[in-house]
Structure 1
Amino acid sequence: MTSAATAKKAAPAASALDDTERGRLDAAIRDLQAGSRTWAALSVAQRATLLRAVRTSTAANVEDWALVAAESKGLNAAHPLRGEEWLSGPYSVLGALDAYIDTLTKLAEGRGALDGIRLGRAPGGRVAVDAFPLTGMDRFLLQGFTGQVWLEPGITPNAARRDAGLGQLSPGENGGVGLVLGAGNITSIPVLDVLYELLAHNRVALLKVNPTQDALVPVYERAFAPLIEPGFLRIVKGGPAAGAYLTGHDHLVHVHITGSAATFDAIVWGPGANGKRRRRENRPQLKKPITAELGGVSPIIVVPGQWSDADITFQAEHIATMRLQNCGHNCIAGQVVLMSADWPQKEQFRAALRRAYAAAPDRPIWYPNSDARMSQAAGDYPDALQLADRLLIEIDGDDDPTALENTEYFAPVLGVEELPGLGQDFLDGAVAHANEKLQGTLGANVIIDPATEKSLGSGFGRAIAALHYGSIAVNTWTAFGFITPTMTWGAFPGNTIQDVGSGLGVVHNALLLDGVERSVVRGPFRPFPRSLPFVNGGGRVTILPKPPWFVSARTAATVSEGLTRFRANGGIGTLVKTLLAALRA
C-alpha cells in the first residue's frame, strides 16, 4: 500500500481541533486511565466473566450490526451479497469472544492456554500449533478446513506452551491506555483490535473509528457496553485532525493502526517534506510504540494439474471471490493470479476466470477514493477488460507488470500473469516471484489439486515454508484465516518503521501465542459432493457444496445470516434451516 493511489489523506496539524473536541478526547482518555487501574485489578476469571457479558450484548445486536453495515455499503435488503456483512462483522466477533473466553477459562483454572491442543512440526523444525478446528461444531460445519500457526524457528514446544497467554500470564500489570485507529472497510476489525489490546497487552483502548463507520458507533456502544461502562473502552469519532492529536497525546502509550503505509508514515515521521526528512534522518516524530496492519498485493498461485471442467469452474469462482468480496476493498483481496505459461489448460482456465469475474453480482464501489484508484488502474493498463464495475488485467508479453505488482488498488481490479514451468519448477518460481516482485507480505493463496500436491511430496511443504507471508491459504482464501479467531493476522516478521511493508505485529491470535511467524490454513480443493473420496480419488472431504463467502453462492445471504444467528443464540432449528439453504448454494 505504498503507492500514491492507495494513500489516505495525510493528517493535518492537530491544531485544527477546537477546544471542545480536544476536551472531549481528553475526557475519554482520563476515563480510560481510571479504567486501566480497574482492569489490572481483575483476575483472569473475572475477565472471562466480563467477556461472557460482552458476548451476550453482542449477540443481542447482530441484526442491527449487519443491517447498518450493509446499508452503509449500498447493499439493500434484497442484495445477494449482504451476507458478507453478517460473516465479516458480528459472526467474526462472536467467534473471537468464544475463543478468548475458552483461553481465559483455561488460564483461570490453572491450565495452560494450549492445554488439549496438539503441537506438531512444520518444515524447518518449526513448532506448528493445530489451531483449527478446536470444537466439534467447527469440525462438522467446516469439515475439510484446518489451520496451523507456525512459530518462529528456534521456539521449542515447551516454550510455546509456557509462553502462551501473553498478558493474561501477568494480569496485574497495568498496560496503560492504547489508541486503536480503526479500519474503514470491515466492521469487525476495530473491535477485534480492541480485544487484542485488552487481552494480549493488558491495555485498555481508545477506539477512533474510521469516518466510513460512523453510522455503526451506536451499535458498537450497545454491543460493547460491558467494556465501556467500567472504563475499559471509549469510542470516538473524528477525522485526520483527531487522529493526529491522539497519536501525539502524552497519556496514550501505544498506537495500533489498520490502514495504509502512507498513513503509517504520516503518523510515525510526520506529513510532507518534513516527514520525509525525519525518515531520512531516522528521527520519528512518534514517541511511542506502534503496531500496524497495512495490506499489500496478494498473490493467488495456481499450480497446474489435470483439472476437470467442474474444477476449473469452481476455482475460477473462488478467485473471483478473492478479489470481489467487499468490492475489493480488502487488505487481503487477491490481486495477482500467477499461473503457468506451460499449463495445457491455461486458456480454458482464463476463459472460465473471465466468465466468473463478469458474472459476479454488481455492487457499489463504495470506499472513498476508489474511483480514482480504478482510473489509475485503467490508465496503467488501457487494454484491461472493463466489466461493468470491475477491471481484469491480463498481462501479455509486452505489458509491464510493475504497477500491478506494486500498487494495492483496493478496488475491483484483478491481474493475471504467466510464469514458466510445471510442477515443482513452476511452484518454486511462483513463490520466488511473489516474494521478490509483489509488494507486501500480508497474505498469499495457493490453489493445487490433490494429485499434483501428492506428486510433489515434501517439495510442496518446502515451497510453503519459502513463501514469506503472514497468512497462507491452500485451497481456500486467506480471509478464512482472518475470520478464524485462533489463527493470527499480520505481516510476515521482519519489518521496521523505516520499511514497514505490510505492517508490524499480529492481532486476533485468541490462543495468545508468543513468537508467531505465520498462519497456514487449508481447505478442500473440491466442494461437496465431488469432495467425496470415491468421486475425486483423494483430497479433503467437505459438506459444503459452495462456501457461503463465494460471491457466486446463490444462498449466501441466507446462509451467512443463519450461521451468525446460530453462533449468537444456538438453536437446532436455525442450524437445520441454514444447512438446507447451504445445500442449495
Structure 2
Amino acid sequence: MLECRAMALDQTVPTSPARSSRDVVDRALTELHAHRTEWARLPVLEKRALLEQIKDRAARLAPEWVEVATRIKRLPTGSPIAGEEWMSGPWALIAGIVGLSRTLERIARGRDPLEGARLHRAADGRVIVDVFPSSPFEQVLLSGYSASVWMQPGVDEREVRRSAGSFHRHVRDPIGSLALVLGAGNITSIAPLDVLYEMIAEGRVVVLKMSPVNEALGPVLERVMAPLVERGFLRFVYGGADVGEMLTRHRLVEKIHVTGSAATHDAIVFGTGDEGRARKQRREPLTQIPVTSELGGVGPVIVVPGVWSEADMRFQAEHVATQKLHNAGFNCVAAQVLVLHREWPLRERFLAILRDTIAQLPKRAAYYPGADARQRDAVEKHARSELLGGQDVPYTRIVDLDPDDRSAPAYRSEFFGATWAETSISAPDVQSFLARAVTFANERLMGTLGAQILVHPATQRAHRAAIERAITDLRYGTIAVNAWSGVGFLLANASWGAFPGHTLEDIQSGRGVVHNAMLLERTEKTVVRGPFAPFPRSLLLGERHTSPKPPWFVTHRRSDRVGALLTQFEAAPSWRKLPAIFAAALSG
C-alpha cells in the first residue's frame, strides 16, 4: 500500500484557450460541412494512414499531454498517481487507434473484421464475441483478463459478421454528415476517442467542443489530431454553456454525442428551466437530430460471500478503493454502492480493512467543479456518514443503508466524487444473495453504465451457474467480474456505453456506444473478467495468470512508470520492451 505522506501539490493550472466566438464557430462548421463527403468517401486505407499518424503523434506528445493533465487536476509533483493520466490518457487513445486501425485494414483487404474472434452462445442463446485478448502481446500484458461483447437478443452469428463495419462495407457513395462531440472534462482520452468513433464507425466529420474543466489540454490534443484538422475533417472549439448551446442549435450540426450528466443531456434535448421540464414531460424535444450519450450512474460492487483470507481482503479493499477513488472519484463508472451479504461472517472485517485502506491514501485535490456541494448534500441527506480524509473535500462513507429504502439519494443520484455508500442484503445462501443483489442493482440504482462482482475462485467454482445467471441478468453496459468495469473502458475492442433501451425522457446512463474497435452493431453489454488475486498468490487459489497488482490501482507505487512504459509499448510493440514493464509493475 502507498504510505500516507505529504506531497507538494502543483497549483499552477495551465491557461485555457480563448472562448470561440460566433464567427469562429460558424467558420469551423462551414469548413467541416464542405469536407463531409470527402471524408465519408475517403478510401479505408487512407483513413487508416491518418490514424497511424495520430498514433505516432500521441506517443511523441504523451509526456506533454500528461504534464498538462496533472496540472489541471492539481496532482502532487512526482506522485505515482500520474500513472492514471498516462493510462487513461495517451495509452487509452493509442490502444483505441490500434484496434480501429486493425479493423480498417481487414475491411480494406476484404477480410472479416472479426477475424480471429471466437463467437459462441450464452446459456440464454445470446451471441457472444470474445474480443480480448486479441493478440499475443495483450495476452501477456494483461494476463488473466478477458473481455466479451454480448449481442442483443435476436442477433445471430451471421448478422454479427455481416453488420460489423457496416459503414465501410455496405454504404455506397455516402454524402457524409457533421457531428458535434461535447467532450468530457474528467478523463482526457474520452474526447479524442469519441471523435474517432464518430468519424470511423459512422463516417462523420466532427466539431469537438472541449469541456471547460480540461480545455487547457485542447492545444495539445489539436497537435495530436493534426492530420485530421489539416485535412478539414476535424475542428476544435472552446467555451462554456453558451458556446455549447450555439453548437447544439446550429443548422449544420446533424448529430450530437455528449459525455456528461443527465442534466446536461436534458438541457440539450429539451432546454432548461420550467420550459425544458415541461417539454420533457410532454416528450417534445427541441432537437430532431440524433443524440447519443454516455452519462454515468450509480455503480454497484456486489461482494459475493466466501472464505477470504486476510491477504484476499486487503487486496480487494485496494481494488474497491480504486474503483471509487481513481481520478479522485470523478469517473462516470466509479463504484458508488457496495452491496454485501448481511450474514457473511467477514463482512465487518472487510469493511474495516476497506475503511483503513482509504483513510491511509494520499490526499488529492477535488479538481472537478461542484464536488464540495455534492459531498455536503450526500452527508445531509443520509443519517450515518463518516469522513476519512482527502484534501479539500473529504473521502466520505455513507454507512449501513437499507437496501429496501427507495428514497435513499445514494441509490438515485450520482455523487461524482469521493463519496460512496454501503448496504447489505440478507439471504440464506450464495445463490439467493446473488439473485437479490442483481434485483437490487437493476431496480434500485440509477443508471446502467457499469457493475462489478467480486467473488473468490472457490466460490465461483462452487456456484458457477449462479454467477453466470447474475452476469446474464444484470442490466449494465459493462459488467466486470473480479475487475473494475473501468478496465472495459481501456480495452479498445470492447463496446462502451449504457445498457440499451433508455429513452430521451428517461436517459439514465445514455444511449449508444463508443470505442468498439471491431465496429460491432447491436451490442448489449461487455463482460470483463479478471483475476481475484495477484501473482504469485493467485496460484494458491487455482488461478492461472501472471498479473501482479494492476498498475491502475490507487495504491500502486510505480503507476507513473508503468503507465509511461505501456504507452510507448502500445505505440510500437516489441518483446524487448516487456521486461522493463514487468519490473516496474512488480515493484508496485
CA displacement, residues 531-577 of structure 1 (integer Å, 9 cap, x when unaligned):
12xx22x23x3322200010111111211122112223445564322
Of residues 515, 538, 545 in structure 1, which corresponds to 2:548? Answer: 545
The one-letter code sitting in structure 1 at the alignment partner of 2:534 is P
The answer as to whether partners of 1:126 and 1:155 remain within 8 angstroms in 2 is yes
Cα RMSD between the aligned structures?
A: 1.7
Runs of 4+ in 1 over 3 A off after TM superposition: 396-401, 569-575
The one-letter code sitting in structure 1 at the alignment partner of 2:61 is N
Of residues 395, 399, 415 in structure 2, which corresponds to 1:409? Answer: 415
Inter-CA distance 20–126: structure 2 relative to 1 (3 Å threshold): closer
The answer as to whether partners of 2:403 and 2:423 remain within 8 angstroms in 1 is no
Give the structure 2 partner of residue 40 of structure 1. 40
The answer as to whether partners of 1:528 and 1:544 remain within 8 angstroms in 2 is yes
Of residues 431, 442, 445 in structure 2, which corresponds to 1:438? Answer: 445
Give the structure 1 partner of residue 156 of structure 2. 156
Give the structure 1 partner of residue 10 of structure 2. none
Cα distance, 1:19 vs. partner? 12
SS at match of 1:120: strand
Quick check: 1:526 aligned with 2:533?
yes
Q: 1:48-63 counterparts in 2 under 5 A?
A: 48-63=48-63
Q: 1:187-336 counterparts in 2 under 5 A?
A: 187-336=188-337
Quick check: 1:578 aligned with 2:581?
yes
Give the structure 1 partner of residue 12 of structure 2. none
Of residues 393, 400, 405 in structure 2, which corresponds to 1:395? Answer: 400
Inter-CA distance 40–457: structure 2 relative to 1 (3 Å threshold): closer
Inter-CA distance 397–523: structure 2 relative to 1 (3 Å threshold): closer
Deviates more, 1:234-243 or 1:549-558: 549-558
Q: What are structure 1's unaligned runs of at least 5 residues?
A: 1-17
Give the structure 1 partner of residue 6 of structure 2. none
The answer as to whether partners of 2:206 and 2:235 remain within 8 angstroms in 1 is yes
The one-letter code sitting in structure 2 at the alignment partner of 1:195 is L
Give the structure 2 partner of residue 13 of structure 1. none
The answer as to whether partners of 1:183 and 1:189 remain within 8 angstroms in 2 is yes
Cα distance, 1:110 vs. partner? 0.3
Alpha-carbon separation, structure 2, partners of 1:181 and 1:123: 39
Give the structure 2 partner of residue 15 of structure 1. none
The one-letter code sitting in structure 2 at the alignment partner of 1:205 is V
The answer as to whether partners of 1:291 and 1:504 remain within 8 angstroms in 2 is yes
The one-letter code sitting in structure 1 at the alignment partner of 2:119 is L
Cα distance, 1:461 vs. partner? 1.1
The answer as to whether partners of 1:42 and 1:171 remain within 8 angstroms in 2 is no
The answer as to whether partners of 1:268 and 1:284 remain within 8 angstroms in 2 is yes
Alpha-carbon separation, structure 2, partners of 1:36 and 1:546: 46
Cα distance, 1:517 vs. partner? 0.5
Give the structure 1 partner of residue 502 of structure 2. 495
TM superposition score normalised by structure 2: 0.93
Quick check: 1:466 aligned with 2:490?
no
Inter-CA distance 230–303: structure 2 relative to 1 (3 Å threshold): same
Alpha-carbon separation, structure 1, partners of 2:274 and 2:55: 46
The answer as to whether partners of 2:116 and 2:134 remain within 8 angstroms in 1 is no
Alpha-carbon separation, structure 2, partners of 1:171 and 1:363: 52
CA displacement, residues 403-444 of structure 1 (integer Å, 9 cap, x when unaligned):
111110101011110101231110110000000100111110
Of residues 492, 509, 524 in structure 2, which corresponds to 1:517? Answer: 524
CA displacement, residues 466-487 of structure 1 (integer Å, 9 cap, x when unaligned):
1000110000000100111100
Q: 1:352-431 counterparts in 2 under 5 A?
A: 352-381=353-382, 383-389=384-390, 390-395=395-400, 402-421=408-427, 422-431=429-438
Of residues 537, 560, 563 in structure 2, which corresponds to 1:560? Answer: 563
Give the structure 2 partner of residue 30 of structure 1. 30
CA displacement, residues 52-79 of structure 1 (integer Å, 9 cap, x when unaligned):
1111112211111111101110013312
Quick check: 1:452 aligned with 2:459?
yes
Alpha-carbon separation, structure 2, partners of 1:125 and 1:78: 51
User: What percentage of residue pairs aligned between the two structures are identical?
Assistant: 44
TM superposition score normalised by structure 1: 0.94
CA displacement, residues 247-278 of structure 1 (integer Å, 9 cap, x when unaligned):
01111100000011111111111100111111
Alpha-carbon separation, structure 2, partners of 1:571 and 1:32: 38
Inter-CA distance 72–551: structure 2 relative to 1 (3 Å threshold): same
Deviates more, 1:141-150 or 1:542-551: 542-551
Of residues 475, 498, 511 in structure 2, which corresponds to 1:504? Answer: 511
Inter-CA distance 20–383: structure 2 relative to 1 (3 Å threshold): closer
Alpha-carbon separation, structure 1, partners of 2:317 and 2:403: 25
Cα distance, 1:459 vs. partner? 2.3
The answer as to whether partners of 1:565 and 1:574 remain within 8 angstroms in 2 is no
Alpha-carbon separation, structure 2, partners of 1:172 and 1:506: 25
SS at match of 1:60: helix
Q: 1:89-128 counterparts in 2 under 5 A?
A: 89-128=89-128
SS at match of 1:81: helix
Alpha-carbon separation, structure 1, partners of 2:153 and 2:79: 46
Cα distance, 1:396 vs. partner? 5.3
Alpha-carbon separation, structure 1, partners of 2:288 and 2:118: 40
Alpha-carbon separation, structure 2, partners of 1:335 and 1:567: 31
The answer as to whether partners of 1:174 and 1:203 remain within 8 angstroms in 2 is no
The answer as to whether partners of 2:297 and 2:414 remain within 8 angstroms in 1 is yes
Q: What are structure 2's unaligned runs of at least 5 residues?
A: 1-17
Alpha-carbon separation, structure 2, partners of 1:156 and 1:38: 34
Inter-CA distance 172–527: structure 2 relative to 1 (3 Å threshold): farther
